[in-house]
């Protein structure tokens, strides 16, 4: 990254949010145009079927390969993108880095902990399929109606879906209707673990199941300290479980108690270790209460879900916990907002890249053409203006690291000298010595893994070779 200045980072994030609507439209249009052209690349083919439900998370079959340092990866990727993706912005993934990160996580998790891949942080069906086969898991956590539909239409009842947030009953009804049209019996949507957080919502799901006269699986959200919804007391859990037991068409599929607050325990004058232990006690109390009151509901193989990319390292063979699976996504991409997690051997696996559209030397500004040349006399890094095809991305510049953000960009602390009149052609300044020509690519690392959905397509690299292009999840439901 070219600077450690937190103010610069904050301004970059604010500018991204301000310009997002324009960027989405232009980025998707460019990606669509590229995808419609005939591809000559080698395709990544998944040659195995998804693991059966109940299969154990295992990374023994993953054959990792050495990963070059980023300084070596970017020039190789630049050459590939110039040859096969000239003139368009891209979101890209390095499968070698994904394999490496899967191995790191697999080595850390306890033998009784399964892995559920988080679709919002890995928003691409082909990528999820690749990772499910590689990690020997058919478990996915979905966060939207569109994701659930796409997963079911592609994988049917071979995928085990748990909702990562409570589902509105209308979402479920529309999903059932979509899958009804495929003629599959029973409807695969019945096997989705629909997350329910309140007795009112559970009553709605009971009505839906009754109207369809078929079994619907429901998981109960419990509050283990995050204070974001779900049953907060054992009494509330019992009331919800009683609704499930009294309905002949509801199937109890487990509990979900996310503990995303644990890494921030210092806000409550605690340590993460102390709060994690308290979370496990709360979770165990919920499970114990449910088992004692409704032993038949808990007789089957339920899912007790928790964890995430910031807490997975706690779930080893040494921990005393009822949790039997963790849901993760971001750690496998290792975006910049996750560089503070304990595992430091993970490798960044996804990036944005945009080509240089034009290169102007010397860089100038309207109304005062000599301003930047005067600055460049003392700082050669301000001499050349490199204009990008796009405006910016939800991430931080990472290569070439010597580029400098335009000093004319407005900020929130002082009146701006000049506003960028062409936000669709963002500008980085640099020295003439930086080996960057028109058509070369500038690389960003996303702040969050979810960001690759910024573009419609994901360019797939295996090491330094571009081998495929996959669709990402796009938001929105067609009525």
Burial of 193 (C-beta count, 10 Å sphere; 0-12/13-18/19+): buried
Statement: residue 59 has pLDDT above 90:
no
End-to-end CA distance of the chain: 43
Close Cβ partners of 453 (under 8 Å, ≥ 6 residues apart): 123, 472, 473, 474, 475
Q: What pLDDT is recorded for position 363?
A: 92
**Number of helices (H), then strands (E), in the chain:** 11, 17
Q: What pLDDT is recorded for position 18?
A: 37
% pLDDT > 90, the chain: 76
Specify whether the CB–CB gap between 194 and 145 falls below 8 A. no
Tokens 């109390």 belong to residue: 285
Q: What pLDDT is recorded for position 479?
A: 61
Q: In terms of DSSP H, where are the helices of 247-320?
A: 272-293
Close Cβ partners of 39 (under 8 Å, ≥ 6 residues apart): 469
Determine the angle formed by the axes of helices 169-180 and 199-212, rounding to 10 degrees: 20
Statement: residue 278 has pLDDT above 80:
yes
Mean pLDDT over 151-161 rounds to 95
- At 478, the pLDDT band (50, 70, 90 cuts) reads low
Specify whether the CB–CB gap between 309 and 330 falls below 8 A. yes
Statement: residue 334 has pLDDT above 60:
yes
Mean pLDDT over 59-64 rounds to 88
Q: What pLDDT is recorded for position 424?
A: 82
Q: What pLDDT is recorded for position 409?
A: 62
Q: What pLDDT is recorded for position 202?
A: 98
Least confident of 26-35, 37-46, 398-407: 26-35
The neighbouring-strand residues paired with 160 are: 139
Close Cβ partners of 278 (under 8 Å, ≥ 6 residues apart): 225
Residue 446, helix vs strand vs coil:
strand
Close Cβ partners of 427 (under 8 Å, ≥ 6 residues apart): 363, 385, 386, 387, 388, 406, 420
Q: Mind listing the pLDDT tens digit for each residue in 397-415?
A: 999 999 998 776 655 544 4
Q: Mind listing the pLDDT tens digit for each residue in 300-313?
A: 889 999 999 999 99
Q: What pLDDT is recorded for position 5?
A: 41
Q: Mind listing the pLDDT tens digit for each residue in 422-476?
A: 568 888 999 999 999 999 999 999 999 999 998 999 999 999 999 999 999 876 6
Statement: residue 30 has pLDDT above 50:
no
Specify whether the CB–CB gap between 454 and 444 falls below 8 A. no
Pair type for strands 395-399 and 441-446: antiparallel
Q: What pLDDT is recorded for position 410?
A: 56
285: number of Cβ within 10 Å: 16
Q: What pLDDT is recorded for position 46?
A: 52
- At 24, the pLDDT band (50, 70, 90 cuts) reads very low
What does pLDDT average to over the chain?
87
* Angle 329-334-339 from CA coordinates, rounded to 5°: 125
Q: Domains of the chain: which residue ranges?
A: 1-94+331-479, 95-330
Q: Mind listing the pLDDT tens digit for each residue in 83-118?
A: 999 999 999 999 999 999 999 999 999 999 999 999
Q: What pLDDT is recorded for position 368?
A: 85
| Domain 95-330, second-level architecture | Alpha-Beta Barrel (3.20)
Statement: residue 394 has pLDDT above 60:
yes
Q: What pLDDT is recorded for position 301?
A: 87
**Fold held by 1-94+331-479:** Lyase, Ornithine Decarboxylase; Chain A, domain 1 (2.40.37)
Q: What pLDDT is recorded for position 474?
A: 79
Mean pLDDT over 64-90 rounds to 95
Pair type for strands 350-360 and 384-388: antiparallel
């Amino acid at each position: 990254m070219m600077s450690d200045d937190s103010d610069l980072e904050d301004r970059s994030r604010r500018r991204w949010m301000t310009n997002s609507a324009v960027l989405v439209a232009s980025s998707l249009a460019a990606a669509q145009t590229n995808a419609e052209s005939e591809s000559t690349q080698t395709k990544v083919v998944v040659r195995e079927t998804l693991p059966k439900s109940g299969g154990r998370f295992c990374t023994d079959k993953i054959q990792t390969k050495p990963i070059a340092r980023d300084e070596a990866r970017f020039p190789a990727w630049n050459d590939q993108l110039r040859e096969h993706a000239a003139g368009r912005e891209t979101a890209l993934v390095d499968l070698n880095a994904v394999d490496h990160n899967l191995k790191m996580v697999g080595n850390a998790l306890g033998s009784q902990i399964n892995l559920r891949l988080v679709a919002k942080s890995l928003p691409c069906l082909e990528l999820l399929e690749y990772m499910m086969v590689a990690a020997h898991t058919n478990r996915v956590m979905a966060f939207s109606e569109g994701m659930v539909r796409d997963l079911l239409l592609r994988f049917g009842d071979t995928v085990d879906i748990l909702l990562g947030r409570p589902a509105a009953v209308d979402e479920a009804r529309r999903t059932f209707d979509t899958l009804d049209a495929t003629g599959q019996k029973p409807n695969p949507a019945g096997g989705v673990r629909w997350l329910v957080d309140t007795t009112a919502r559970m009553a709605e799901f009971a009505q839906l199941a009754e109207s369809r006269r078929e079994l619907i699986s429901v998981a109960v959200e419990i509050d283990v300290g995050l204070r974001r919804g779900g049953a907060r007391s054992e009494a509330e859990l019992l009331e919800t479980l009683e609704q499930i037991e009294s309905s002949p068409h509801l199937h109890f599929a487990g509990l979900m108690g996310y503990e995303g607050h644990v890494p921030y325990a210092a806000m409550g004058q605690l340590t993460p270790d102390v709060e994690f232990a308290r979370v496990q006690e709360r979770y165990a109390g919920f499970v114990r209460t449910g088992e004692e009151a409704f032993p038949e509901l808990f007789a089957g193989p339920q899912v007790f879900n928790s964890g995430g990319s910031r807490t997975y390292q706690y779930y080893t063979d040494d921990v005393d916990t009822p949790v039997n699976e963790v849901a993760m996504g971001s750690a496998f991409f290792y975006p910049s907002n996750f560089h503070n997690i304990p595992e430091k051997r993970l490798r960044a696996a996804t990036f944005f890249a945009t080509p240089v559209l034009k290169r102007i030397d010397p860089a100038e500004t309207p109304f005062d053409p000599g301003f930047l040349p005067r600055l460049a006399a003392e700082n050669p890094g301000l001499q050349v203006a490199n204009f990008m095809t796009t405006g910016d991305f939800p991430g931080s510049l990472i290569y070439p690291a010597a580029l400098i953000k335009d000093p004319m960009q407005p900020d929130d602390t002082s009146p701006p000298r000049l506003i960028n009149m062409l936000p669709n052609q963002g500008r980085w300044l640099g020295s003439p010595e930086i080996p960057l020509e028109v058509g070369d690519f500038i690389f960003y690392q996303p702040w969050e893994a979810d960001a690759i959905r910024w573009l419609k397509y994901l360019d797939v690299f295996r090491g330094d070779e571009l081998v495929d292009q996959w669709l990402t999840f796009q938001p929105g439901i067609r009525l």
